[in-house]
Amino acid sequence: MVLDTLIALTPTIKWENDQVRLIDQTKLPLEESYIETDDYQVVCDAIYRLVIRGAPAIGVAGAYACVLAANKIESDNTDGFLKEFLMKADEIGATRPTAVNLMWAVKQMKEKAANFSGDVKDLKSSLLDLANEIRDDDIDRCHNLGL
pLDDT at res. 5: 52
Of 93, 120, 122, nearest to 109 (Cα)? 93
DSSP designation for 27: G
Mean pLDDT across 29-49:
97
> What is the assigned CATH class of domain 2-145?
mainly alpha
Mean pLDDT across 26-48:
96
**Which tops the pLDDT comparison, 136 or 144?**
136
Residue 7 has pLDDT above 80, yes or no: no
Q: How far is CA 5 from the centre of its chain?
A: 23
Q: What is the mean pLDDT of the chain?
A: 92
DSSP designation for 48: H
pLDDT confidence bin for 1, thresholds 50/70/90: very low
Q: Where are the domains of the chain?
A: 2-145
> What pTM value is reported for the model?
0.91
Residue 61 has pLDDT above 70, yes or no: yes
Of 145, 135, 144, 141, nearest to 57 (Cα)? 135
